[in-house]
Amino acid sequence: MKANKITVNSLIIYVLGGMLIAGLSDCKSTSNLKKSSNSPSSTSKNVISRAQNPTNYAITASALGGAAGSIIGKYMDKQVVQLNQSVSGIAQVERFGEGIKIIINSGVLFKSDSSYALSPDPQPILKQLANTLVTYKDTEILIAGHTDNVGTAKRNQSFSEKRAESLADFLQSNGIAQLRMVIQGFGEYTPKVSNGTENGRRQNERIELGIVANQTLKAQAKKEAAETGVSNK
């Protein structure tokens, strides 16, 4: 069964020029919502260029700060050690704010430049990634697809969505609950580097995962901070 194109109520809907850009943040409950069907339009392109890293935005938007944020940070510190072991060789893993960011080049993940089917080669490592995410269950995961600027913007938008969905489907089949995953394609609008060289285009063809605390972990962190008598301001 395919992973839902969903968000959760811990998702801030950050609309730029009529499209969903996505950020995870603090709300009161969890429910299924549909991923935005809107795609970037030419009128929104300049606005989108000001949000060059939606994964960073999502992690930052989700942060609690203060003592509770520090507690969440310790949880993420432990997780990032295991993630580095899990995806060594195919991904870049970094701690960012109160979350974790994982970048995987599309050339590693997919069968060809024109495919959104996962290659068999990285799947054993992706299973290890899923196992780690299952172990650290009190998180939500943004799965964001990105492309270079070769081809039409419409094609690149659709392609980025399908690739993000493909990875989400794999993770779901390996134990990651649908409700934990937020799927979004960003097409060609959020490059890491210039598309002016072949190397740059390869870097821009990527999947990014943003891992943030869910409501359970946030509540636990707030409670622990309150019990220690430390303000969360």
Q: 164: which 2 tokens?
A: 């993000």
pLDDT in tens, 31-70: 222 343 334 433 333 333 335 689 999 999 999 999 999 9
Asked if 138 and 213 touch (Cβ cutoff 8 Å), the reply is: yes
**Structural domains for the chain:** 6-227 (3.30.1330.60)
Please tell me the predicted confidence (pLDDT) of residue 202. 94
Strands 19-20 and 139-146: unpaired
Distance CA 50, CA 228 (A): 40
Please tell me the predicted confidence (pLDDT) of residue 52. 67
Please tell me the predicted confidence (pLDDT) of residue 1. 44
Please tell me the predicted confidence (pLDDT) of residue 75. 98
Q: Which of helix, strand or coil describes residue 89?
A: coil
Please tell me the predicted confidence (pLDDT) of residue 233. 53
Please tell me the predicted confidence (pLDDT) of residue 188. 95
Please tell me the predicted confidence (pLDDT) of residue 67. 97
Strands 23-24 and 6-7: unpaired
Q: Which residues of the chain have pLDDT under 70?
A: 1-52, 230-233
Please tell me the predicted confidence (pLDDT) of residue 231. 53
Of 1, 24, 15, 3, give the one whose Cα is nearest residue 142.
24
Farthest-apart Cα atoms in the chain, separation? 56
Please tell me the predicted confidence (pLDDT) of residue 82. 96
Asked if 185 and 164 touch (Cβ cutoff 8 Å), the reply is: yes
What's the alpha-carbon Rg for the chain, to the nearest Å?
17
Please tell me the predicted confidence (pLDDT) of residue 74. 97
DSSP 92-161: EEEEETTEEEEEEEHHHHBSSTT--SBPSTTHHHHHHHHHHHHHS-SEEEEEEEE--SSS-HHHHHHHHH
- Tell me the whole-structure pTM to 2 decimals: 0.80
Please tell me the predicted confidence (pLDDT) of residue 121. 95
Please tell me the predicted confidence (pLDDT) of residue 34. 31
